[in-house]
Amino acid sequence: MNKDTDMQTDVRPVIECRNLTRTYKEGPATLTIFSDISLTVGAGETVAIVGSSGAGKTTLLNLLGGLDKPSTGDISICGEQIHRMSEARRARFRNQHLGFVYQFHHLLPEFSARENVMLACTLGGMSVREAGQKADAMLDQVGLGERLAHKPGELSGGERQRVAIARALVNEPECVLMDEPTGNLDEQTGESVQRLIEGLRDRLGIAFVVVTHDMSMARSLGRVLKLEQGRLHPLPVAS
Ligand SMILES: Nc1ncnc2c1ncn2[C@@H]1O[C@H](COP(=O)(O)OP(=O)(O)OP(=O)(O)O)[C@@H](O)[C@H]1O
């Protein structure tokens, strides 16, 4: 075990990355975004990834989520090598095992909060009736039980982000990947989204990987790793 960037407990690993390298070809030159990154994240663990703009945080998150493939190295999510799956299998796997939350919520503007969350279920083959029940329960958990019929344009920024979190969680994924989930929110709303993440992690045992520029949120979520000059370094725990 790599003691620097691996979890320190013996809980079941949800994410296991070994020696990840991502490069881009730029004419005759090769641009290395990061190299030789290894990382293990266990069930119910939260890992925050920080680093300056352009350090490669989103690139790393995209690899973990199967949106991009590593140049070299292995990624195992829930014991399966996501980067080696066929396109169709990967889409199914992502729907079943992973949830995604972005800085800009990417909700469909024409659909209600309920319908946006339901869509994540029906895409996976669930009946409309069951999807409706799941969406209602999940939206209730994130405190939006009274806003089911509101469209994104009729919700506040924090409420929209909570709908996006409900959508990411409704299929009960083992792992949720978040890119700047509070980046677009004021301090108070950001803190309430952070508490929501912590509550869901503790209640449901989901592993969270959260890319953020907010160091205080990173520290309070748990383990903090800094992506710097193409390497992932653990930051010491704040006293
Ligand atoms: N398709 C691509 N081709 C070439 N270079 C790319 C490509 N995609 C990303 N990059 C480069 O990879 C680097 C890392 O980008 P990335 O978006 O992962 O950074 P980041 O740490 O998430 O930054 P920010 O905090 O600003 O969002 C950047 O320098 C970017 O220009």
**Angle 157-169/187-204 helices, nearest 10 degrees?**
20
**Which region among 43-52, 130-139, 213-222 has the lowest average model confidence (pLDDT)?**
213-222
Q: What is the mean pLDDT of residues 172-187?
A: 86
Quick one: average pLDDT of 8-25?
A: 86
For 160-167, what is the mean pLDDT? 90
pLDDT in tens, 183-201: 877 787 778 778 888 887 8
Chain-centroid distance of CA 230 in Å reads 21
Q: Burial-class residue 30 by CB neighbours within 10 Å (0-12, 13-18, 19+).
A: exposed
3-state DSSP helix/strand/coil % of the chain, to nearest 5: 35, 30, 35
Confidence at residue 3, expressed as pLDDT on a 0 to 100 scale: 44
pLDDT at 210 over 60: yes
Task: State what percent of residues in the chain have pLDDT above 70.
Answer: 95
- Residue 55 CA, chain-centre distance (Å), reads 18
Output the pLDDT for position 4: 46
Q: 79-109 b/e with 16+ CB inside 10 Å = b?
A: eeebbebeeeebeebbbebbbbbbbebebee
- CA–CA separation, 134 and 57 (whole Å): 32
Query: From the alpha carbon of 26, which atom of ligand 1 is closest?
Result: 4
Helices 157-169 and 128-141 cross at an angle (nearest 10°) of: 130
Cβ of 28 below 6 Å from ligand 1: no
| Mean pLDDT (the chain, rounded) | 89
List, for residues 122-150, the tens digit of each pLDDT value: 988 899 999 999 999 989 888 899 999 99
In the prediction, which pLDDT does 14 show? 92
CATH number for region 13-109+175-234: 3.40.50.300
Please report which confidence band the pLDDT of residue 24 belongs to, taking 50, 70 and 90 as the band edges.
very high
Question: Is 0.80 surpassed by the pTM of this model?
Answer: yes
Span from the CA of 129 to the centroid of ligand 1 (angstroms)? 41
The response to whether residue 24 sits with its C-beta less than 6 Å from ligand 1 reads yes
Query: 46 φ, ψ to 5°?
Result: -115, 130
Out of 49, 57, 68, 71, mutate this one to test ligand 1's pocket (max ligand atoms within 8 Å of CB): namely 57
Q: Give the pLDDT band of residue 177 (cuts 50, 70, 90).
A: very high
Angle between the 113-122 and 157-169 helix axes, to the nearest 10 degrees? 20
53 in contact with ligand 1, CB cutoff 6 A: yes
Q: Are residues 73 and 19 in contact, defined by beta-carbon separation less than 8 angstroms?
A: yes
